[in-house]
Amino acid sequence: MSNGAQTRIARSRTKVLAAASDVFLREGYLAANMEQVASEAGVSIQTIYSHFKGKEALFLEVATHMAGGAASAVSNSVEMLPRDTSVEEWLTHFASQQLKIVMTPTLMQLRRMVIGEVGRFPQLGRTLYEAGPGRAIARLTTLLEHYSERGEIAITNPERAAKQFNWLLMGGPTTEVMHLGDGAIPTEPEMRTQVHETVAVFLAAYGRDHATGGRPDPQADAFGE
Amino acid sequence: MSNGAQTRIARSRTKVLAAASDVFLREGYLAANMEQVASEAGVSIQTIYSHFKGKEALFLEVATHMAGGAASAVSNSVEMLPRDTSVEEWLTHFASQQLKIVMTPTLMQLRRMVIGEVGRFPQLGRTLYEAGPGRAIARLTTLLEHYSERGEIAITNPERAAKQFNWLLMGGPTTEVMHLGDGAIPTEPEMRTQVHETVAVFLAAYGRDHATGGRPDPQADAFGE
């Protein structure tokens, strides 16, 4: 195949994906149909089927693409921090990025639609979970290990602590927006407050300053270790 | 109207609601239809319309009824605690009940369906939020005020702390079950671990024992109060 033909194919695929995102988010999975996607993409329905086997395959591709884009945006922003960043600065930056990138109408609509279709498309829910909270928790776990080795925090089970940080931060805002609609997306000042409160409670429980002050380790508390 | 007629009407309403719960949870809102509900309830379609204006009104009634039942079950169990219960015992009992009652396939399927339909039925999402997380957070706020006055915890903003406790506990399990399906509902030992970890982290941050040990108040940390 010539380069020109490859470029044309890639372009038409991109147009189909963009139109499909709009149609699925607007109509929901069940009500959306391939004719609408073809018409909005300005291609024939045969062109769509040359790229994707059918509605389910197209939906999976749209959802994976959107969720993956958000996860990469958080990771890239966080990779740019200097090496001597303190645990408090790192958590604050990570949490701010996480909230700002996840709390958007598009991602929240996608999440509602995927959750509503989990019975029919379990793979889709798994994909969205792994690209979203799963990836955030994995990233947090690695960094909590790092700061624990450096002695800035006292954590025996970094993955457990990473989940706690993640849900302290994201549990309220996401559940509210899932139920109450996009009007419940926090404003910028509300996001700053949420970030500060989360970091403060987390470090009050796990911060080294405090842990050396004779307080019991909350993880040891829980298991009598 | 005679008592006998009233009883018959109440009975037929209950049958319709039970059948509608099954049909909606199995088929989803869009695919469900009133003929199926009538057939499963063993009543005529006219009987359904004598109780409910239409599919939307019936769905609202089913969802409100189920969510309200779960919330009452948690409240009743918690009211039965003796007055001298410590904050740790109270939080442990409340959290155990909350997880056990919310983490059921029926409520989780209802929640997925309502979230998927929030664009079409915003009132439904609000009703479910208020009967679920909203009511749990209100109950926690009252009790944290009580224990703060008793001097067992050091909390300046009980509602904020109540939300933190609630999302530390529920954020992970509910988000996992929303995305990964009912197979992700925690087992009993997993629920016990989740409860212990949540109470331990919360009391490490807010417990009076620790707060008098010279640690800064995490809420003051966040706001420079």
Nearest CA in chain B to A126: B180
Which stretch of A153-157, B11-15, B208-212 has the lowest confidence by average pLDDT?
B208-212
What is the least distance, in Å, from the CA of B210 to any CA of chain A? 6
- Which pLDDT score, from 0 to 100, does residue A216 have? 47
* CA B2 to chain CA centroid, nearest Å: 38
The answer on pLDDT for B212 being more than 70 is no
The pLDDT of residue B215 is 46
pLDDT at B220: 54
B64 pLDDT band, cuts 50/70/90, is confident
> Is A114 in Cβ contact with B115 (below 8 Å)?
no
Question: Is 0.95 exceeded by the ipTM?
Answer: no
The answer to whether the Cβ–Cβ distance between B218 and A201 falls below 8 Å is: yes
Of A82-86, A149-153, B186-190, where does mean pLDDT reach its minimum? A82-86
Q: Does A134 touch chain B (CB under 8 A)?
A: no
The average pLDDT across B80-105 equals 91
Q: How far is B3 from chain A (nearest CA, A)?
A: 40
Say whether residue B182 is in contact with chain A using an 8 A CB cutoff: no
Provide the sign of the torsion angle of the four alpha carbons B213, B218, B220, B222, taken in this order.
Answer: positive
CA-wise closest residue to B203 among A37, A50, A217: A217
CA-wise closest residue to B193 among A206, A171, A158, A223: A223
**Contacting B residues, span 9-48, partner chain A, CB-CB under 8 Å:** 28, 30-31
Q: Indicate whether A104 pLDDT > 50.
A: yes
For the stretch B130-171, pLDDT in tens is 988 999 999 999 999 999 999 999 999 999 999 999 999 999
Nearest Cα residue to A110 out of A13, A20, A223, A6: A20
Q: In the predicted model, what is the mean pLDDT of chain A?
A: 87
pLDDT in tens, B36-50: 999 999 999 999 999
Reported as a pLDDT band with limits 50, 70 and 90, residue A218 is low
| Closest CB to A167 among B30, B115, B172 | B172
Q: DSSP per residue over B11-42, as a string?
A: HHHHHHHHHHHHHHHHH-TTT--HHHHHHHHT
Mean pLDDT on A129-149: 93
Instruction: Please name the residues between 137 and 176 in chain B that touch chain A, using a CB distance below 8 Å.
Output: 160, 163-164, 166-168, 170-172, 174-176
User: At A125, which amino acid appears?
Assistant: G
Residues B198, A162: Cα–Cα separation, whole Å: 13
Question: Which residues in B lie closer than 8 A to residue A118 (C-beta atoms)?
Answer: 112, 178-181
Structural domains of chain B, ranges and CATH numbers in brackets: 1-52 (1.10.10.60), 60-219 (1.10.357.10)
